[in-house]
Amino acid sequence: MSQGIELTGMVLSSVPSGDYDKRVVLLTKERGKITAFARGARRQGSGLLAAASPFYFGKFTLYEGRTAYTLASADISHYFEKAREDLEGACYGFYFMEFADYYGQENLDASLMLNLLFVSMLALEREQLPNRLVRYVFEIRMMVINGEFPQDAAYDSSLLESTRYALQYVIRAPLQKLFTFVVKEKVLDEMARVQDKIRRTYVDRRFRSLDILEKIC
């Protein structure tokens, strides 16, 4: 087994593997989306028990094998407890993880995607921001990063001026300022119609978490 490497990332998903292990999917800054096995993570008292959970962000030490990574330890800096403890917030969070998983690729720099995921999870925990707005901002910017958002949609003259401005802002704003605005309900409804159509056109996956989200919200 190779020497350990330290990667910055977030746990996108975690499922049982065997009797005591977990298979974890991470979105990492340095190596994109990777799969790792957390050996013994389901044993009581395991140091990996908490680290191998969705939403957790931090630094992960892994060993790279021939066919997979092994998670050795983790230094978690953000748990996003507030989002996890709220049913609606958790549903949005799981959808964000699944959407990031769709676009994530191995051995590619994922700095922009990871930063977007991080600031979007922080935004979910801000009570003054509607979760629905956070969702559409996240979706649009994720598609922009991956070159799949048709930017002329933000200049459609049939849209309200405020909607056009909001879409243009989401496309171009620095990530640290992405969630510094709110819009009226009619503008959000129009943003939703535009983005729902674009997502259905360009994203060829049905998201289980989105199905659940749309049933409860």
Q: Indicate the domain borders of the chain.
A: 5-78, 82-216
Please write the tens of the pLDDT for every residue from 77-136: 999 999 999 999 999 999 999 999 999 999 999 999 999 999 999 999 999 999 999 999
Please write the tens of the pLDDT for every residue from 15-31: 999 888 999 999 999 99
Domain 82-216 is of which CATH architecture?
Answer: Up-down Bundle (1.20)
**Sign of the torsion angle spanned by Cα atoms 66, 68, 69, 71:** negative
The Cα 217–Cα 200 span in angstroms is: 19
CB 76 within 8 A of CB 10: no
Q: What is the CATH number of domain 5-78?
A: 2.40.50.140
CB 114 within 8 A of CB 167: no
On the question of a common fold for 5-78 and 82-216, the answer reads no
pLDDT over threshold 60, residue 1? no
pLDDT band at 2 (very low <50, low <70, confident <90, very high): low
Q: Please tell me the predicted confidence (pLDDT) of residue 13.
A: 97
pLDDT over threshold 90, residue 46? no
- Enter the pTM of the model: 0.95
Cα separation values, 26 from 8, 85, 91, 142, 211, Å = 9, 21, 19, 17, 23
Please write the tens of the pLDDT for every residue from 63-76: 998 888 999 999 99
Question: What number of other Cβ atoms are within 10 A of residue 55's Cβ?
Answer: 22
As a whole number, mean pLDDT of residues 183-198 equals: 98
